[in-house]
Structure 1
Amino acid sequence: MSEEATVLLEDTDGVRIITLNRPDRLNALNDSIMAPLADAVADAARDAAIGCVVVTGAGRGFCSGGDIKGSRVPAEATPETGGPTEQGHLRLRAHMETARLLHEMGKPTIAMVNGPVAGAGIGIAGACDLRFAGASATFLSAFDRIGGSGDFGSTWFWPKILGSGKARELFFLGEKYDARSALDFGLYTRVFADEVLREETLKVARRLAAGPRMGWRYMKANLNNAEDGVFEQHLDQESLYMGLSTQAAGRIHAALQKKNDGK
């Protein structure tokens, strides 16, 4: 019996719904989901029949960030691919195309936040044009908890959405927001009761899909041009720094643990 798909697709009235499907892990990102997710978003961007894209999570969460509990075979250094640092950077950068495409595709994109969102998940949510959340949704940057600097465009999108000062508060203080306080802070566009979140989100998504698609395309291009600068360069830098920072945190933790064990 084949394993269940980690990314689910549904089309309705010109809307493509992309669902992260690892509900047992609050849709945490690992290799089994990141590559299919990037492919799904790329396909939605290319599909002329699709006028709006909605991203959400299966079960009770949107996306809890990277799956730090997952195991990966140590990378073997080669002349062609470099060592673990280079390979990790290239791997993460490829997966982060999800955020770039959600942001840059010529179609409105909506994050339907049906529960907790954290870490890389806030990058995916921030990449979308709109963020509709259920009343049970929470929001947490979480990068400080793993000694990470941020990925999936999170440190690009949130200063632009919130302003630099509030974005620094979001990342440095690492506070957890419930749906209402997240709305007040500017993290969510709208908040709905959990039982009507899908209905209300799709109501807007269908209206957008039925609207002037070329108008939305050029409107979005204008809005992005007004703020983006060199976005891909930022993603390159962000994925490199995420790898460097988490590796440093892991090595420091291991060194401290070894020191403590020796006492």
Structure 2
Amino acid sequence: MTQDSVILSQTRAGVCTLTLNRPDKLNAANDELLLTLTAELKKAEADQTVRVVVLTGAGRGFCAGQDLSDVSGRDMTFTEHLNHTYNPLIRTIRTLDKPVISAVNGVAAGAGASLALAGDIRLWAQSARLIEIFSNIALVPDSGSTWFLPRLVGYSRAFELMAFAERVDADTALKLGLCEHVFADESFVDDVQAYAERLAQRPANALKLTKQALNAAVTSTLDEALDQEAVLQQVAGDHWEHQEGVTAFKEKRAPDFVRVQD
């Protein structure tokens, strides 16, 4: 991809970094960006050399939400627009069979906040900010925010953040559980890459199944979760990764989940 592409893709050490590339607009999303990002995620999923995907933004922003100039005057309803662009993207992130890290390097607003919340792991730069800005223009949070946010911070806090369009800084986000780690701005890119490379060394098949189990458990009963675990545990136990882990344990060495092949 050229540097003019709305999504930049780079793979190193098993980590595919997808960068939203409209820095002059704080990576505000237009149709091209959203559809291209969905396509690039699917390409990363199909690439056997990719073990972890990182989503981040170019320049000062992660994603400032919808580029309103892109939809102004368009003959398309809100529902049609969401079902064409954002909803397929969020579903792709949540069902991708590889871990997705949201590396929030700057402002994440509106649908950009939803995108930041959609990752399996969220890493923030110290200067990152999140704002559910929808109520400022009398709209409802979308692109998954009403699903993600209350599960992270609770119903009442989520409602408050949405009602007042309250800006959340990195330290507050860490306390609320909106992110797992906060890194210094100057080392953010290197820290994210190092974290992602650590994750890429973990057992890919087991992590894929773990993601499936967690996604299912969020909306299941305990009995359903137990049944799902039993099924997926058999799938994991039949995979070569399990044998490598057991052998490494017996040999008192670190397991190699990357070098070993089927």
How high is the TM-score relative to the length of structure 2? 0.78
Matched residue pairs, number?
Answer: 218
Residue 38, structure 1, aligned to residue 28, structure 2: no
Give the counterpart letter for 1:95 in structure 2: T
Instruction: Kindly report structure 1 stretches of 4+ aligned residues shifted beyond 6 Å.
Output: none
For residue 117 of structure 1, the aligned residue among 101, 108, 114 is 108
Extract unaligned runs of 5+ from structure 1.
76-83, 230-263
Structure 2 match to 1:234: none
Q: Secondary structure at the match of 1:152?
A: coil
Aligned partners of 2:115 and 2:94: how far apart in 1?
A: 9
Structure 2 match to 1:69: 69
Give the counterpart letter for 1:92 in structure 2: L
For residue 150 of structure 2, the aligned residue among 159, 182, 185 is 159
Q: State the Cα distance separating 1:134 from its structure 2 match.
A: 0.8
Extract unaligned runs of 5+ from structure 2.
221-262
Q: State the Cα distance separating 1:105 from its structure 2 match.
A: 1.2
Change (3 A) 1:37 1:228: farther
Residue 216, structure 1, aligned to residue 240, structure 2: no
Q: State the Cα distance separating 1:136 from its structure 2 match.
A: 0.9
Residue 13, structure 1, aligned to residue 13, structure 2: yes
Residue 141, structure 1, aligned to residue 138, structure 2: no
Change (3 A) 1:182 1:22: same
Q: Secondary structure at the match of 1:62?
A: strand
Structure 1 match to 2:182: 191
Q: State the Cα distance separating 1:228 from its structure 2 match.
A: 4.0
Residue 171, structure 1, aligned to residue 162, structure 2: yes
Equivalences for 1:50-129 in 2 at 5 Å?
50-70=50-70, 72=72, 74-75=74-75, 84-85=76-77, 88-96=78-86, 97-129=88-120
Q: State the Cα distance separating 1:171 from its structure 2 match.
A: 1.1
Contact 1:100 1:127 in 2 (8 A): no
Give the counterpart letter for 1:66 in structure 2: Q
Aligned partners of 1:74 and 1:174: how far apart in 2?
A: 26
Structure 1 match to 2:229: none
| CA displacement, residues 154-195 of structure 1 (integer Å, 9 cap, x when unaligned) | 111111222222211221121112211222222221111001
